[in-house]
Structure 1
Amino acid sequence: MMEDSGQPHAVLRAAVPRPVRTAVVVNPVKVADLDEHKRLICEGLAIAGWPEPLWLQTTPEDPGLGQARAAVRAGAEVVFVSGGDGTVRAAITGLAGTGVAMAVLPSGTGNLLAANLGLEGHVAAAVQVVLDGGRRLIDVGEVDETGDCFAVMAGMGFDAQMLAGTSERAKKRIGWFAYLFGAARHLRDRPMRVRIRLDGNRVLDRRARTVLIGNVGRLQGGVRLLADAEPDDGQFNVAVVTARSLGQWVVLGLGVLYRWRRVPRMELYTASEVEIRSNRAQPRQLDGDLIAPAEVLRVRLRPKALVLCVPRPERARDLAEGADRVKEKA
């Protein structure tokens, strides 16, 4: 479909900005006004002469995987994905390796992939990004036991406990701040004994609170935990967090916020294959979505497996300048 330019962080231009077949995978629970959502997408495409998209709604039983695969079978060349992190992750699993481009329409509380890659939250702007033809090939991670994919982060331990301790009601009321309350409940939980294997040969034995496998570096609220993580560099950034006391968590947090060269109680590594094995079943998460607890989390990197619609550099500059002008007038 497209060739990689060979340059890091390359934004590729679609060869021909012609009308293409599209589909929309939408989580109706995460969209406040479904009819308006559909109208904006269909009108934006129609103005450019593109046909009306295939409309596929997620269900509690299938949060997006089956719908993404159905879109590919129907011949879609671009799939809009509208929902929270769970919807986006399910669609990534269905689209990775197909060559079909994914366009993220953020609708949930988190949408970490959109936040990390500067994707537009407004529907009309996101449609324009697709029409402009900017594309980026990014890596995805894959869980060995299930084949589930992720594009942001996988984790075992405290991070998953935090997610489990945060209610949907709280997230709707106060947004990402709700995660802070979920985190507070587990700050002093006992650490887990883990053996971490990197690329099949390097072995680390640790008493850790959490182990994070990052494809990108930014967390909720814009906090950049993994400063060197890029979604197309062919490797994961692995963070092993060993903080136990409240004081240690505070110092670690300061180190992350102020981007210290060395953050206390956090070791950093890189690898393309990672296995985390604990002495007991642990909570686990993929892109902020909880999966079944287990003693092992084993993931491998699939390089440049996902085609993502992103703003072209000149378009991103235009949008930023326009936003600045609006702020000046206000």
Structure 2
Amino acid sequence: MSATLYVLSTLGGYVLTSALLLKCPGLLHRPKRQRFRCRHISHRGGAGENLENTMAAFHHAVNIGTDMLELDCHLTKDEQVVVSHDENLKRSTGVDVNISDLKYSELPPYLCKLDVTFQKGNECSDISAFACSVLPMANPLVSPESHSEGKDNRIPLLKEVFEAFPQTPVNIDIKVNNNVLIRKVSELVSQYKREHLTVWGNVNYEVVSKCLKENADIPIIFCLQRVLLLLGLFYTGLLPFIPFKEEFLEIPMPSIILKLKEPEKMSRSQKFIIWLADTLLMRKALFDHLTARGIQVYIWVLNEEQEYKRAFDLGATGVMTDYPTKLKEFLHNYPV
């Protein structure tokens, strides 16, 4: 009887302590110093309003007041850091060639019309990369019903972005596990004195680890492996006791997969797993705890007002969107 009482009292004490620290993490952790705080984040510069990852897209987003530019980086054969989502340029330029096989001067221009990845029916490779270990997704259908157009079809250099927007925070997705790419990006960030205006990383654990080792002054994001660990700690009550090096949690809203595919063509088990992933990941208590610890929570990639509202109602710090104008209009009416 005494052993049972001891176990119950110990368990009760753990649960109460965990609940207290979940609500009041400042009792155990000093909040991280936030060098910038962003609500409005333009995904690939705003891929729904201009050609993705172009200077025209970045200028448009900054001109309407975005808080942060999100972009992707690769390395050319002559070791130039370029802004492009894809390593292979078939989708974006029509030329089946890898960026790493060409010098910067040899890169083909973007097509004048590109699909918007996170609109209904279009390919969602980013979500597939992030969630393939937990979501058994079939290949999404590609549809031409949503696209962007533009005259600026040149693949820019990362340093051009830094020079053009010296005061704008930039979120860099290191797209490949390449030591030279990581070193070159770090050197550019240091050269332009942007450690306080940059966050970098990838879904891959090894890439994020290399980023941190290369330059610990640039804040990093949670990779997929660490997101899964974060969820495990949250649901076992251990999260309030564990310190983290990461300063940003960037996660998809799983429910948007249902709009990217045709729900009637999905199996019941697929819909259930998407619902389960969404239920486990989209938790206000989790987001509130992290933000109280100075860890910003960004949800991607949301393009509808009801998605924006849900993310902010759940306590997300910011939202990544392909439509910066639409998000700006929403935030104008959404209370801080």
TM-score computed with the length of structure 2 as normaliser: 0.23
Query: Could you say which structure has the larger radius of gyration?
Result: 2
Which structure dedicates a bigger proportion of its chain to helix? Answer: 2
TM-score computed with the length of structure 1 as normaliser: 0.24
Which structure dedicates a bigger proportion of its chain to strand? Answer: 1
